[in-house]
Amino acid sequence: MTTLEQGKTVADFVRDNYKTSDVFKKHGIDFCCGGKKSLAKVCDQHGLELSQLESELEEVVKNEPQEHDFASWKPGFLIDYIENVHHEYVNRSLPLLIEYANKVARVHGDANPENVLIAELVARINGELTAHMKKEELLLFPNAKRLEKAIEKASEFAAPPFSKFQTSIDAMEFEHDAAGDICKEIRKLSNNYTPPAHACNTYRVLYSKLEEFEDDLHQHVHLENNILFPKILEMEAQIKQA
């Protein structure tokens, strides 16, 4: 890799090609909430050889172009994508996860008590993510779209009902971290989503759906933390300079 590429953060690689997230996931490297770290730093933290990680990333970049160039999308279009794809997925998936988690906890909780804790964590992430997405959909996202239109039309922008976008974004990123921590705990309790040999079909489906949910959350958070939010802050700075 070039010297410039070596200076890129984990989030930079995933922003430029989401397929590289598979490499980071394989090595247990957080690319969404903790993505603002250099390759050298994450290699040191995870006991990896920098040259090996670079080689794996180069292979992906060379052979697996990403389907969407999210970084090139306008903020409003990216917001629509996040709401229609990721928010919709969360709203559709959480009721099923709650149902399955409660059933597995009830039937298998005595023999596998970790499932009782998993059911509690699923209920917790349901409450936190539902409230979080509503704040985005009712406050942050509409005001970001208004900001984008004001810039496009060179018109005045009325201040949002929060002091500044950075304040709202800081709160959203904090809540992203909290949701990510819950998923990490579920992954740990479920032995990396590996059901025991005696697991029934519901048990197996639950663990499969929980892993799918975490994967979706990773991309969801990455799109917001590493692409959308910086775009919003750039627009806010542009308005202030106008």
Domain ranges in the chain? 3-63, 71-241
Q: State the burial class of residue 225 (Cβ atoms within 10 Å of its Cβ: 0-12, 13-18, 19+).
A: buried
CATH of domain 3-63: 1.10.3910
Q: Read off the pLDDT of each residue in 47-59 and give the average, rounded to a whole number.
A: 89
Q: What is the mean pLDDT of the chain?
A: 91
Using DSSP's 3-state secondary structure scheme, residue 152 falls into: helix
Each residue of 147-169: b (16+ CB within 10 Å) or e? Answer: bbebbeeeeebeebeeeebeebb
Total count of residues recorded for the chain: 242
**DSSP-assigned beta bridge partners for residue 39:** none
Band of residue 5 on the pLDDT scale cut at 50, 70, 90:
low
Q: Which amino acid is at 205?
A: V
Percent of the chain with pLDDT over 90: 64
pLDDT higher for 130 or 239?
A: 130
Residue 224 pLDDT > 50, yes or no?
yes
Could you give the CA distance from residue 120 to residue 126 in angstroms, rounded to a whole number? 10
Could you give the CA distance from residue 115 to residue 110 in angstroms, rounded to a whole number? 9
The structure tokens listed for 76 are 């409003």
pTM of the model: 0.83
Could you give the CA distance from residue 166 to residue 161 in angstroms, rounded to a whole number? 13
The pLDDT assigned to 132 comes to 97
Could you give the CA distance from residue 199 to residue 40 in angstroms, rounded to a whole number? 40
Summarize pLDDT for 134-193 with one digit per residue, the tens. Answer: 999 999 999 999 999 999 998 888 878 887 999 999 999 999 999 999 999 999 999 999
Band of residue 3 on the pLDDT scale cut at 50, 70, 90:
very low
Band of residue 68 on the pLDDT scale cut at 50, 70, 90:
confident
